[in-house]
Every structure is written in C-alpha cells, then in structure tokens.
C-alpha cells in the first residue's frame, strides 16, 4: 500500500512538472509570437506630392513590409507598421512624426518623400533619440553638417543627381551634339525647396567644373499657378540644354507652357520626383515626353539579374508582381516603387537582424550601431549599388550611404532605358531631340 501511495505521489508530481513545463513553453511561444517592432511609416498619401511619386514610394515600402512579414518577420519580430499621411505639408509631417513617437510609441520611423519635410523631421526625430530610416528624400541639407546620430539614408543624395546629369552632358556633347562642352548653353531651373535647391547646387558645381556656359539658374515655387514668366526668360537665354528639378504639377505646367510659347531645346534632363513617374507624364502630355531624360536610382526592373546577389532577382520579381496587383494596367513600372522597396529591404534584411542578434534589441542605440556596421558591396541591393555609412569624423554627411549612385534614363515610346553610365546602357542615348519632338531646337 505504501509503495502504491509513493507511486501515486510521484505520478502527481511528474504530471505537475510536465504541466508546468508545458505552460512555460506555451508562454515562451506566446511571447515570441507577441514580439514586434512598431514602425511609423510616413509618406504623402494626399496632396500634390502624392501624385508626384510619394504614393508609389509608399507602395514600395508597404510591399516590402508585407513581404518580410510573409516570411515570418525578422529574428522572431513581426513588423507592425503604422501608416501616416504627411498630406504634402512639412508641418503635418513633423506633427505626425511626433505623434507616432509620443502617442503610438513606435520604435522607429521609416519613409519620407519630400526633402522639405525631411530637413525639419530629421532634426526633430534625432533630438527625441529615435531611429529614422529614410527611403526617399534626397536633399543634402537633410544630413550635411548636422552630425545627426540616429538618422540614416541609404538613398542617393541630391548633389549626386546634379553632378551625374552634367557628367553625362560633358561626356556626350562632342559626340552627340557636335559641340564642345564649354560651348553648351545650359539652364538650371528648379523648385525652390531643399530638394530642388540641392540638386541645382550639384548641377551648378559640375557645370562650372567643366567650364560650361551657364546662361540661367532660377528657382520657383512648386505650387506656382503660372510659369510663363520663367518660360519667357528661358526663351531669351536660348539654352541648348535644360536641367530641371521639380515635382509633378509644376513639371507638367512647365512643359505645357513651354510648348505653347515655343520654347525649344536640344535636351531636357529631369532629376527624380515628378520625372520619375513616366506614366503620369505620358498621360498628361502624350508622346511629347519621348526622349526626356531622368536621373534617378535605376529602376530595379532594368538591371541584369546576373549582376545582383543570389536571391535578389526573385525579390525584384515579387515586388513587380505586387505592384501590378496594386496598380492594374500600369504601363511603365516607376522607379519610385522599386526604390522604396530596395531601401526598406536593406533595413529589414541587414540592419535589423544585426541589431537584434548582436546588440540585443530594437532600441535606437542598437539600430544605430547596427546601421554603422552595414557593409553591402555593389550588387548587394535591389538597386544594384552597395551600402556603407561613414564613421564618426569621416564625413560632414553622417548617415549618408557613400556607395549609392544614380543613373541617367531616357523615355522612348512609354518605355524606360538606361542611357548612362555607359557600362549599364540599354540605349544609345538620343541626342539632340529628333525633329519630330515639339520641343526640338
């Protein structure tokens, strides 16, 4: 009887132990399932910037967030995005950033299309000691000389855009236009915010370096209802080439009024933003858009899959498929979608895993340390370029990807081709404009 009693007590103890272990296991699994990184995602879903490319950037980021979650998240963490609309207004972007940090208690912020928003938001977020990952805005002023600690941008910066377009001209002026670069009459026009001013600064510095004849450099408000006076000035200056940086309504307005007033040129080179949404330009202006150039990070769908690291071509294909689901009937896949998807992919597959595994968390300091150790070679991102950030004291643009690089693309027949650099060309650039163009000089 005593042995039977002991056996019963042992069985009861064992059952309790097993039950306790099971409860602990369930609790552990439950905790793992509850682990998440809360991310505030800010783009312009309404207002003029939405149609200028911000809504497409937002789509690219969302596609990537959904893709990462479909793969099980990152190191046990699911991505919990909270989407916010900056409404194409800097003050709203600042308010939304603060709201997401202080009220929604997000762990970090991601996104940002407009440089006019990025400049003040970056400083505010950094002062609140929160991590900010910029997928889009390009103004050098966002980072230059500010020594921000928690703000990182894998994206190309605006001066690179401006320099590349002029380098392209310098390399092709003699062979394509039959002119010495020093005889080229160049006009620089730009929206007068941080984005346009940053690119225009790169244009001007490069044009002066090559000794080009800069006949006009002028800014204007992106919300201006009439640009006819600017067109009149350009007609007086008779530029061979116009370097233009703008959003969307202002680009369309300028091109319409240029056609109406008989402004002519040999080449027009745009720089991202509104020039990066070919479908909208073609829908508004028809075949007049043919042979316009655009400087931007390359459209991910134009790269040779063999030039990318293993596994990346499949991700590019997935982003393209989701893009087509979201925008049925899209004729030209905008570089904007791939740009945000690629830059978000870098964070989720490189920076975030390192922060969790090596630095033990998703706090701003862990994310900062992980970002500073990023070392992705060429071909290691969907955009083809690598990623590396400067260490303290190495640069006056802390947080800027030093391996980012744009390309020059050309639109022909609603298709996008790479015109420069020569190693990536998918078209022999058409210069000057053919006589069939209403803008041909």
Q: Which H, E and C letters describe the chain, residue by residue? A: CHHHHHHHHHHHHHHHHHHHHHHHHHHHHHHHHHCEEEEEEEECCCCHHHHHHHHHHHHHHHHHHHHHHHCCCECCEEEEEEEEECCCCHHHHHHHHHHHHHCCCCCEEEECCCHHHHHHHHHHHHHCCCEEEECCCCCHHHCCCCCCCCEEECCCCHHHHHHHHHHHHHHHHHHHHCCCHHHCEEEEEEECCHHHHHHHHHHHHHHHHCCCEEEEEEEECCCCCCCHHHHHHHHHHCCCEEEEECCCHHHHHHHHHHHHHCCCECEEEEECHHHHCHHHHHHHHHHHHCCCEEEECCCCCCCCHHHCCCCHHHHHHHHHHHHHHHCCCCCCCCHHHHHHHHHHHHHHHHHHHHHHHHHCCCCHHHHHHHHHCCEECCCCCCCCCCEECCCCCCCCCCCECCCCCCEEEEEECCEEEEEECHHHCCCCCCCCCCCCCCCEC
For the chain, what are the domain ranges? 35-156+305-388, 159-296+406-424
Residues of the chain with pLDDT under 50: 1-32
pLDDT for 430? 96
pLDDT for 27? 39
pLDDT for 424? 87
Quick one: 221 exposed, middle or buried, by C-beta within 10 A (0-12, 13-18, 19+)? exposed
pLDDT for 277? 87
For domain 35-156+305-388, give the fold: Rossmann fold (3.40.50)
pLDDT for 23? 41
Same fold, 35-156+305-388 and 159-296+406-424: yes
pTM (predicted TM-score): 0.82
pLDDT for 51? 87
What whole-number distance in Å separates Cα of residue 376 and Cα of residue 190? 33
Quick one: 31 exposed, middle or buried, by C-beta within 10 A (0-12, 13-18, 19+)? exposed
Which candidate, 88, 100, 156, 128, places its Cα nearest to that of 400?
A: 156
pLDDT for 34? 74
Which residues are CB-neighbours of 344 under 8 A, at least 6 positions away? 60, 61, 64, 65, 110, 133, 135
pLDDT for 142? 96
pLDDT for 283? 93
* CATH 3.40.50.2300, domain 159-296+406-424, yes or no: yes
């Amino acid at each position: 009887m005593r042995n039977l009693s002991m056996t019963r007590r042992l069985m009861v103890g064992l059952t309790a132990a097993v039950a306790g272990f099971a409860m602990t296991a369930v609790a552990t699994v439950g905790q793992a399932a509850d682990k998440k990184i809360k991310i505030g995602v800010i783009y312009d879903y309404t207002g003029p910037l939405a149609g200028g490319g911000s809504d497409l950037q937002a789509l690219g980021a969302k596609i990537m967030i959904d893709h990462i979650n479909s793969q099980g998240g990152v190191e046990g963490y699911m991505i919990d995005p909270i989407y916010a609309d900056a409404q194409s207004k800097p003050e709203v972007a600042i308010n939304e950033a603060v709201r997401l940090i202080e009220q929604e208690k997000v762990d970090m912020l991601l996104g940002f299309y407009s440089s006019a928003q990025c400049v003040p938001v970056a400083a505010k977020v950094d002062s609140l000691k929160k991590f900010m990952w910029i997928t889009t805005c390009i103004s050098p002023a966002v980072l230059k000389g500010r020594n921000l600690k928690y703000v990182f941008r894998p994206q190309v910066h605006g001066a690179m855009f401006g320099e590349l377009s002029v380098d392209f001209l310098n390399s092709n002026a003699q062979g394509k236009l039959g002119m010495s670069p020093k005889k080229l009459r160049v006009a620089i026009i730009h929206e007068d915010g941080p984005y346009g001013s940053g690119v225009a600064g790169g244009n001007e510095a490069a044009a002066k370096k090559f000794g080009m004849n800069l006949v006009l450099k002028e800014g204007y408000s992106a919300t201006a209802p009439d640009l006819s006076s600017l067109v009149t000035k350009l007609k007086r200056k008779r530029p061979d080439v116009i370097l233009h940086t703008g959003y969307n309504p202002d680009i369309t307005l300028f091109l319409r009024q240029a056609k109406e007033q008989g402004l002519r040129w040999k080449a027009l080179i745009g720089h991202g933003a509104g020039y990066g949404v070919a479908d909208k330009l073609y829908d508004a202006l028809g075949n007049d858009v043919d042979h316009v150039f655009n400087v931007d990070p390359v459209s991910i769908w134009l790269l040779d899959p063999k030039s990318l690291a293993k596994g990346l071509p499949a991700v590019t294909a997935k982003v393209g498929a989701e893009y087509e689901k979201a925008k049925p009937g899209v004729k030209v896949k905008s570089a904007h979608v791939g740009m945000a998807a690629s830059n978000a992919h870098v964070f989720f597959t490189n920076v975030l895993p390192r922060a969790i595994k090596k630095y033990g968390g998703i706090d701003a300091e862990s994310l900062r340390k992980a970002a500073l150790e990023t070392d992705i070679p060429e071909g290691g991102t969907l955009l083809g370029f690598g990623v590396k950030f400067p260490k303290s004291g190495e640069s006056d643009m802390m947080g800027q990807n030093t391996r980012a690089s744009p390309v020059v693309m050309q639109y022909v027949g609603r298709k996008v081709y790479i015109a420069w650099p020569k190693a990536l060309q998918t078209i022999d650039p058409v210069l000057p404009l053919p006589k069939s163009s209403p803008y041909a000089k």
